[in-house]
Amino acid sequence: MHKEFENALAAIEAKITNLNPQEIQQAFAYIPLDIFAELQLERPSAYPNIVQWLPEMPSADVQIDWTGSANHVLMDQTLSFIKTIISTYHEITSKPISSRTILDFGCGWGRIIRLLCKYVPVDKIYGVDPWSQSIEICQQTRVPGHLFISDYLPRTLPTPEGLKFDFIMAFSVFTHLSEKVTKICANTLRDHLSDNGILAITIRPIEYWDFALNLENYGFSHSYIDELKAAHKQKGFAFAPHNREKIEGEVTYGDTSMSLQYIKDNFIGLDIVRVEYNKVDSLQLIVFLQKA
C-alpha cells in the first residue's frame, strides 16, 4: 500500500473509536474506494480499530450463492458499480450523496452497503431483503445501516413510515423477478423516492440468454432459450422461474431479461434518465430512473 494511504489510515485508526457516523464518513475522504475495499478483504492487523468498525466478509460460498462469484473477482465488479452510481448520482443531481438517505433494495449479504458507507454515513443507509437469511448474514457480519426483512411482493416497505429515499439502488434484483413482482417493486420504489430521488436498477439484456445457455448448473435447453429470447423480442420481458415455492400463486424469483422499452412502457410514473454499464459486468445494464 502507498505510504500516503498508510499515513492517512494511521490517523483514522487513532481516532475512529471517538467519531460519530458523519465524522467517520468524512475521515475516509482521503482513502480511495479501492483501498477501502482492500481493507475489507485483507483486514490488516496494523489497523485493529478500523477493522473492528468494518463489517466482516461472509464466506466465499455465501458470496457465490448470492452473487455468482467471490472475493477479488466480485469486488472488482462491485467497485465498478459503486463508482458508476456515485458519479452518475452526482452528475444528475449535483448534490453530495453524503447527506442523502439511501436504500439498498434486495441488499443480500450487504455487498453494496459495505462500500457505500465510505460515501454515506451509516445512519443514513437502509437495506431490505425478503430472504431472512440475507438479513441474518448482514447481522452476523455487522453490516452497518438499518436493515429490514421485506415482502416477496413488496406493496409497502418495512422502513419507517413516511421515510422517502433520495437514492434507491437494486443491483441484480430486477434481473430475477417475475413480471408481476417487477411491476409491484417499480410502483413501491417510486412511491418511496423523494421528489428528486434517483432509482438505479440493473437489468439483463437479451444477450444474457446466450450466456445462460452455457451455464452448466442451469441446464437450459436450446429450445427454452429460444422461447425466452422470443418473449424478450416480442414484449421486452422474459422470465425463467427457478424451482421455488409459489407465493400468491406464482414463482416470483428466477432469471429475467428486460428491454429499456419495456421499462418505458410499464414503469408507471418513472422516466429513464441515464443508462450505464461496466465491461467487467457487461450483462448488467444500470438504468437510472426519476419520478416523471
Ligand X SMILES: C[S@@+](CC[C@H](N)C(=O)[O-])C[C@H]1O[C@@H](n2cnc3c(N)ncnc32)[C@H](O)[C@@H]1O
Give the residues lining the site for ligand X (CB under 6 A).
66-67, 105-108, 111-112, 129-131, 134, 150, 152, 154, 171-173, 176-177, 181, 185, 252-253
Closer to ligand X by CB, 248 or 271: give it: 248
Minimum CB–partner distance for residue 189 and ligand X (Å): 10
Q: How far apart are CA 205 and CA 282, in angstroms?
A: 9
* Chain residue at closest Cβ approach to ligand X: 108
Q: Which three cell numbers stand for residue 152?
A: 416477496
Handedness of CA 235, 236, 240, 241 (dihedral sign): negative
Minimum CB–partner distance for residue 105 and ligand X (Å): 6
Closer to ligand X by CB, 5 or 220: give it: 220
Buried b (16+ CB within 10 A) or exposed e, 84-101: bbbebbeeebeeebeebb
Closer to ligand X by CB, 226 or 248: give it: 248
Closer to ligand X by CB, 47 or 253: give it: 253
Closer to ligand X by CB, 40 or 67: give it: 67
Minimum CB–partner distance for residue 172 and ligand X (Å): 4
Minimum CB–partner distance for residue 205 and ligand X (Å): 17
Dump the DSSP string for 233-292: HHHSEEEEE-S---BTTB--BEEEEE-HHHHHHHSTTEEEEEEE--GGGTT-EEEEEEE-
Minimum CB–partner distance for residue 55 and ligand X (Å): 13
- Residues 15 and 27 sit within 8 Å (Cβ to Cβ): yes
